[in-house]
Each structure stands twice: as structure tokens, then as C-alpha cells.
Amino acid sequence: MTKFILRRLLWMILVMFVVSVITFGLMRAVPGGPFSREKPLPQATLDALNAKYRLDEPLIVQYLVYMGDIVVPRIGPQTVPSADEDYLIEFQLPAIFGENQSFKWVNFGPTYSARGRSVNDIFRENMPVSAQLGVAAFLVAVSIGIPLGVAAALNRNKWQDFGAMGVSIIGVSVPVIISAPVLQYLVGVQWRILPVTGWGTLNHLILPAFTLGFASSALIARLMRASLLQVMNEDYIRTARAKGVAESGVITFHALKNGLLPVVTVLGPLFAALVTGTFVVETVFGVPGIGRYFVTAVQGRDYPVVMGTILLYAGVLVISNLLVDVVYAWLDPRIRFD
Amino acid sequence: MTTVNKSLPSPVVKLENHVKGESLWQDSWKRLRRNRAALLGVAIILIAVLMALFASVIAPHPYDRQTLTATNATPYWVTRIFTSMIPQGEPGGYVRISDQYLFGADSLGRDLFTRIIYGAQVSLLVAFIGPLVSIIVGFIVGLISGYVGGRVDNFLMRIVDLMYAFPTILLIILMLAFFRAGFGDLEPGSFGYIIGQLDRQTGGMLFIFFGIGLTSWMGMARLVRAQVLSVREKEYIEAARSMGTRTQGIMLRHIIPNIVGPLIVAETLTIPTYISYEAFLSFIGLGVQPPRPSWGAMIAEGAQRITSYPSQAVFPALALFLVMFAFNFLGDGLRDALDPRMRGVD
């Protein structure tokens, strides 16, 4: 198991490295810099800005400096957070490391589009919003999807099955780009049950969380149904029944436990996708999350924000995939020996 | 014993009658024809295709003509459905009533119905070209990976794994930004300039195809590889090889025909994803370039005015929904038809 996890960790690091190189390369291949404006800045100003952000150095140096700020931990006197030096993780070290020394790690650098603000500032401000929305949506997705799928599988070809699959085909055919404005109109404008846009109270959370979660619940329901149907045909289910286990026991202890396995694999990426923010829902419902930053940053060539967001997203994705792998290996011992 | 003897012959005879003279495709077609949901899907897709093909004939107005006197004009029947839209003349009314437009006009005074018809062109093109690109790339990678095997296979599959770990939507956004800016202002005559012009002439669709194609071939590659691996060890492949058929011949004549079914099903089921990618990209302004209409862009515009003119977002959303629904139904139906064993199993 340790070896398995170690191997997955190494793979994770490789993935993050490749993601960072591709993103950096693609971003820099785009013509135009962060300071190209409709009315060009004076050359001297441009030079000064480029020098300040080290944009005049060779790309490889820029990449190394940038990644170094993120990856390499620093030890030194405590820093007052500024746009250039703002660490996500910073704490006072015990006295054995010397007088007033701090451990400082993960500095995503300054954003180019707002003065004196760091990418970490943006994360701190907007990430919790996206995360709250994402966790709520995830709960909605799981609590609708799994019961729906189970009900459909246990009542195969009965009305419960057709009903559940009808709901789920609607869920699959309705991306948030459709459901967000339609639900917003129905619930917010027409029935006036919930606020149309905004953020801050529980009422503001319900509609976007449901919109996001419902789309994913359809996927979970279909997968749950398919996997449970398959499991119900397995020999061990017949064995359990033959030895006289009550049907409810067969379902909860034998079928559900195994039927959940394939569902767990999609929950990882799903969680990552929901938690790191989704542009459409955040835009339509006016949620101040991180999703919106990425698009504006790409268009504005705000390199550190683009890099930071992608790395953050990829990080959450690989970590949740790792967790899924570990859970999977723990649930299904056959995988460990792969 | 007697009961067994009685019941045995009949299914066997039935089976023989059924199989006689029917190819896999005829058989599948028969099954598909019996599936009402799939037929409904086909009907909706056909209507949408006709709409897209004859857009210039059906559409009552040019899609980019702005009539400033008709901004946000709405026909009366729409205000009856969307009761929050109160017509001018009634207390608190603000909606300009004009029956000149079937679904009304948008905030720039362009006919919504016309723009929805033209929007079908974009969504359907993506629906047909998206799978094409992903099939071509995925097929090549998967076929090589599965057939050659060994180190090549390992390498290609690790690339696929890596691509899976990359956040797709963010990658598409990044690539589109790169394409748009990179091929934007090049010197005339260069290859890049031609590509950029081509994209501009197609209203920005070319780069959407690139973006979608380059990020969605992995599933196809894995599927092709798995199918090749399972087919490769079959006796008829061994027989073909022992008869001296070359690798290319085996791939073309024996392997590809045997894996086409699952591939069609997988791609049809992915079409809604491609359509929603395009809608999403147009929603954030990186997709189809204005003034060419796209349902995603129309929804984005409408969503900004959802409190006062909900119809402007809901109509294109409905169109998008119908087309995605149709492709999902067709995909499910095709799966049941091509592989009856999969019926009811996802």
C-alpha cells in the first residue's frame, strides 16, 4: 500500500510539472503582453514594468523563478505580505532555528491587473466562496444521484426506473449554461422564492448549488444504476441470497458496497471541478468565486493569475484523484497489486 | 424430460429464422426503428439540420440587422408565458410589444428567431465535426497503441493519462486565447495568416474545432486501444496473419470493422458534450465571434437581462436543450441497437 501511494505521489508530481510547463508555454506563446494597451504605454514605462516583473529575462529563467517561489520553502524573518512576497503558508519557527525565523512556502506572485495585490490575495478572497458553493453542489449531486440510481436499479423496468432515468437524461441534456438562466428565471424572477443574484446568505447559496449539483447528479445516477445492475448479477449476490441473508441485507452489505466502487472514481474529478469554481454559474448568479478570474486573466494576459488558477485546479484534481485511488485500492485489494 | 424436449426446438428455430439473411447493420437498424425515443431524437436532429442548411431561406431577417426602433421588442404571446414581463400600457409595464418578430428582438434589435435558426448551424457543425476530429486523432493513437503495444503503447497511454489530468475546460480556454491572439494579426501570405482568415470567415468556428478536437481524443484513443487489444488475440486475426496479410491489411479489413459499433455509440453519446463546450466557449466570449449568432452567446446576453427580458435567454436555451436531448436519445438508442446486451446498462 505504501509503495502504491508513493508511486501515485510521484506520478502526481510529474503531472503537476507537465501541467505547469504546458500552461507556461502556451501562455507565453500568445502574442501581446500583460501591459499591451489600446493606447501603447511609453517604451520607458513598459521597460520598467517588464523589468519589475522580470518579464525581460529568458523564459526558462522566468519559469524557474516563478516555480521556485511556489515550490521551494523559505526560512527567514517574517515578511509583511506585499504583492511580490505573500506566502500562502507562513508560520513562526521555534527558537532552535534562530531568532525570529519563519517558515514561508507557496508564493504565487503578484497579479498584473491590480496594483499591490497578490495572486494569493485573490485566492484567499474568492477561493472560499467557490469552495462553499462547490461543496454544497457536491452534496446535492451525491444526495440526489445515488438514491436515484439505486432506486432505478432495484426497480428495473418499473416506473421508478423510467422516472429516475427520465430525470437523469434531462440532467445530462441540460448543461448549467441552460439550467442556470432558466432556474434563475423560474425561481428568482417568476416565483420570487429565492434571490436572483448575489452571495452571502444561505438563500443565495441554494439556487447555484442546486443548478451545479443537479447536472452532476444525473451522471452519478446513471453510473450508480449501471454498476448496481451489474453487481446484482454477480455470483456472490446469489451466494448471499442462498445462505439466507434478507434482501435488505444483500442490498446494503453486498450489492451497494461493491456497486459504489465505479461511482467513487468519478466523484474525485467531479469534486475538483465543482470546488474550483465554474464560470457559468458564478457569472449568471453573480457569485464572487474564482472561476470568473481565470477567464478575465487569460484575456488580460495576467500570467501569474492564469498559472496560479491552473496549478490550483490541477492540484485539487490530482489530489482528489489520489484520494480516490487510495480509497479504491483500500476497497478493492486487487488493484494494489497492479 | 418431456417439457424440456417440447420447449427446446422452438427458440432454436426462432433464432435461425431471425438471423437468416440479416447483417449486423440491418439488424441494428430494425432495433433502432422500434425505439421511439431514438426516432424522436432523429426527427429533432433532422429538423435542426434542415433549419441550419436553409437558414438563409427560413430566417425572416438577416441575423446581424439591428433595428434600433425595435430593441427588446416582444410579441404579445411571449408576455403571456413570461408573466413577469409586463407590456407597456399596463401598470408598471415596460415591454415594447411588437408582433413583427416571432420570438421578439434582442437588446440590439436583432430578430431572436433568425438568430436561433443561424445558431443551429454552429451547434450542429460542432456536433458533427467535433466527433470527426476526436475520432481521427483518437483512432490513430489508439490503433497504434493497441496494435504495436510494448513501449509505444506505454508511452502513448501515459500521454493520455496526462491529458486526463489536465483540466480540460481551462486548457480549451487557454488554447483558444492562444489561437485567437496568435493567428490574429500576422502578415498576409504566411500560413498562420491563412488559418486566421479561415477562422474569421467561419465566424471563429475553426479554432473551436481545434480546441475541442485536441482536448477530447483521449477517451476515443483508450476505447480504440481496448477494442484492438480484445480483438487482436481472436482466431480470425491469427488466421489472417497466417495467410500472409500485412499489418495494414489486418487493421483495415479486420480490426476496424469490428470496433466501429462501440465507437459510433461512444461518439454519439459524447456529441452533447461537444455542443455544450461550444455553447460554454461562446458564453464566455471565446467561441463564435460576433455578430455570428451562437446559442451560448445568446444565452449569455439574455442572462444579463434575465429579470426584465427572460425570454431572450430562455428561447436559445430551449433550442440548445432540444438538440442536446435529441443527441442523447439517439446515442442511447444506437447503443441499444448496436449492442443489445448493453440494453439498460449504461
Task: Say which amino acid occupies A260.
Answer: L
Q: How confident is the model at residue B20 (pLDDT cuts 50, 70, 90)?
A: low
pTM metric for this prediction: 0.85
Nearest chain B Cα distance for residue A310, angstroms: 7
Minimum CA–CA partner of B83 in chain A:
A190
Strand, coil or helix: what is B130? helix
Q: Give the model's pLDDT for residue B167.
A: 76
A62 to chain B nearest CA, in Å? 19
CA distance A279 to B280: 9
Residues B18-50 as b/e (b if ≥16 CB within 10 A, e otherwise) read: eeeeeeeeeebeebbeebebbeebbebbeebee
Decide if A21 is inside a domain: no
Cβ distance A26 to B174 less than 8 Å, yes or no, reads: yes
**Nearest chain A residue (CA) to B343:** A226
| CB-closest option in B167, B276, B310 to A310 | B167
Is A178 close to B162, i.e. CB distance below 8 A?
A: no
Q: What angle do CA A50, A54, A58 make, to 5 degrees?
A: 105
How many CA atoms, within 13 angstroms, populate the side-chain half-sphere of residue A263? 28
- Contact between A42 and A50 under an 8 Å Cβ cutoff? The reply is no
Write out pLDDT tens, residues B250-306. 878 877 877 787 788 888 888 988 998 899 989 988 888 888 899 999 999 999 888
pLDDT in tens, A116-145: 888 999 899 988 999 999 999 999 999 999
List chain B residues with CB under 8 Å of A188: 306-307
- The pLDDT of residue B4 is above 70: no
pLDDT of residue B346: 42
Domain membership of residue B179 (yes or no) is yes
pLDDT tens track for B154-206: 999 988 988 877 777 888 888 888 887 777 666 777 777 888 888 877 777 88
What is residue A335's predicted lDDT score, i.e. its pLDDT? 67
Q: Residue B1 — pLDDT band, cuts 50, 70, 90?
A: very low
Q: Would you state the pLDDT for residue B341?
A: 60
Distance in Å, alpha carbon of A298 to nearest chain B alpha carbon: 7
Query: Would B75 be classed as within a structural domain?
Result: no
Nearest to A182 among B169, B173, B314 (CB): B314
Distance from C-alpha of B245 to C-alpha of B205, rounded to nearest angstrom? 42
pLDDT at B45 over 90: yes
Most trustworthy range by pLDDT among A131-140, B21-30, B212-221: A131-140
| B44 min Cα distance to partner chain A (Å) | 14
Element of type H or E holding A248: helix A247-249
Query: What residues contact residue B276 under an 8 Å CB cut-off, 6+ apart?
Result: A175, A177, B324
Mutate which of A177, A266, A285 to disrupt the B interface (most B C-beta within 10 Å)? A177
Q: How far apart are CA A178 and CA A19, in angstroms?
A: 31
Over the stretch A290-325, which tens digit does the pLDDT of each residue have? 887 888 888 788 888 989 988 988 888 888 888 888
CATH of the domain at B45: 1.10.3720.10
Interface touch B170/A309, C-beta < 8 Å: yes
Q: Taking CB atoms and an 8 Å cut-off, how many pairs form between chains A and B?
A: 137
For B234-273, b/e burial (b = at least 16 CB within 10 A) is: eeebeebeeeebeeeebbeebbbebbebbbbbbbbbbbbb
Q: Is residue B37 part of a domain?
A: yes
Chain B closest-CA separation from residue A273 CA (Å): 8
Is A263 in CB contact (< 8 Å) with chain B? no
In whole numbers, what is the pLDDT of chain A averaged over residues? 86
Cβ contact, residue pair A189, B346, below 8 Å: no
Which ipTM did the prediction report? 0.84
Taking each helix axis as running N to C, give the angle between helix A119-154 and helix A202-232, from 0 to 180 degrees, rounded to the nearest 10: 40
Residue B2 confidence class, pLDDT cut points 50, 70, 90: very low
Residue A288 in contact with partner chain B when CB distance is under 8 A: no
> How far is it, in rounded angstroms, from Cα B59 to Cα B62?
7
A25 lies in some domain:
no
Question: What CATH number is given to the structural domain containing A313?
Answer: 1.10.3720.10
Phi, psi for residue A109 in degrees, rounded to 5 = 85, 180
Tell me the C-alpha distance between A302 and A115, whole Å.
Answer: 12
Q: How many domains does one find in chain B?
A: 1
Contacts of A55 (CB under 8 A, 6+ apart): A33, A34, A49, A62
Evaluate whether residue B328 is within a structural domain.
yes
3-class DSSP string for B242-273:
HCCCCHHHHHHHHHHHHHHHHHHHHHHHHHHH
Residues 6+ apart with CB under 8 A from A270: A138, A141, A216, A219, A220
Residue B27 within any structural domain of the chain? no
With contacts defined as CB-CB under 8 Å, which chain A residues touch B175? 26
The count of structural domains within chain A is 1
Question: Is A182 within 8 Å of B317 when comparing Cβ atoms?
Answer: yes
Task: Work out the average pLDDT over B6-14.
Answer: 49
The rounded distance, in Å, linking the Cα atoms of A331 and A310 is: 31
Give the rounded percent of residues in chain B with a pLDDT score beyond 70: 90
Distance CA A145, CA B87 (A): 41
Ranges of beta strands (E only) in chain B are none
Is A156 within the bounds of a domain? yes
The pLDDT of residue A186 is 92
Please check whether residue A174 touches B, CB under 8 A.
yes
Listed in order, strand segments (DSSP E) in chain A are 74-77, 89-92, 101-105
A233 and B CB contact within 8 Å: no
Identify the pLDDT of residue B345. 45
Distances (CA, A) of B168 to A18, A292, B32, B259, B317: 14, 16, 33, 26, 23
d(CA B76, CA B86): 10
User: Does B330 fall in a domain?
Assistant: yes
pLDDT at B309: 92
> Which residues of chain B have a CB within 8 Å of the CB of A130?
none
Q: Which of residues 89-128 of A touch B (CB under 8 A)?
A: none
Range of the structural domain that residue B319 is part of? 33-65+110-342
| Domain contains A80 | no
Is A247 within a domain? yes
In this structure, the strands spanning A101-105 and A74-77 are antiparallel
Length of chain B: 346
- For A208, other C-beta atoms within 10 Å of its C-beta total 28
C-alpha cell at A52: 519589475
* Mean pLDDT rounded to a whole number for chain B: 83
Does B85 reside within a domain?
no
B67-87: per-residue pLDDT in tens?
888 888 889 888 888 888 888
Q: Which is more confidently placed, A55 or A335?
A: A55
Q: Give the pLDDT mean for B303-313.
A: 90
- Put simply, the answer to whether B324 touches A173 (Cβ < 8 Å) is yes
**Cβ-based contacts of A169 with chain B (< 8 Å):** 325, 328-329, 332
Helix (H, G, I), strand (E, B), or coil: what is residue B105?
strand
Distances (CA, A) of A108 to A33, A127, A305: 19, 14, 8
B303 vs A226, A284, A313: nearest CB: A284
Q: Is A314 on the interface with B (CB under 8 A)?
A: yes
pLDDT tens per residue, range B97-113? 888 888 989 988 899 99
In a domain, B257, yes or no: yes
**CA B251 distance to own-chain centroid:** 27
pLDDT at B47 over 90: yes
Contact residues on chain B for A298, CB-CB shorter than 8 A: 173-174, 177
C-alpha angle B83-B84-B86 in degrees, rounded to nearest 5: 85
- The C-alpha cell at B56 is 438563409
Q: What's the order of all strands across the beta sheet hosting A101-105?
A: A74-77, A101-105, A89-92
Distance (Å) from the C-alpha of residue B184 to the closest C-alpha of chain A?
Answer: 9
Task: Answer for the pair B240, B296: CB distance below 8 angstroms, yes or no.
Answer: no
Q: How far apart are CA B87 and CA B85, in angstroms?
A: 6
- Is the confidence at residue B310, as pLDDT, over 80? yes
Domain residues for the domain of A313 are 119-331
Q: Which residues in chain A are closer than 8 Å to B303, comparing Cβ atoms?
A: 180-181, 184, 283-284
Q: Which of A148, A167, A173, A321 to mutate to test the interface with B (most CBs of B within 10 A)?
A: A173
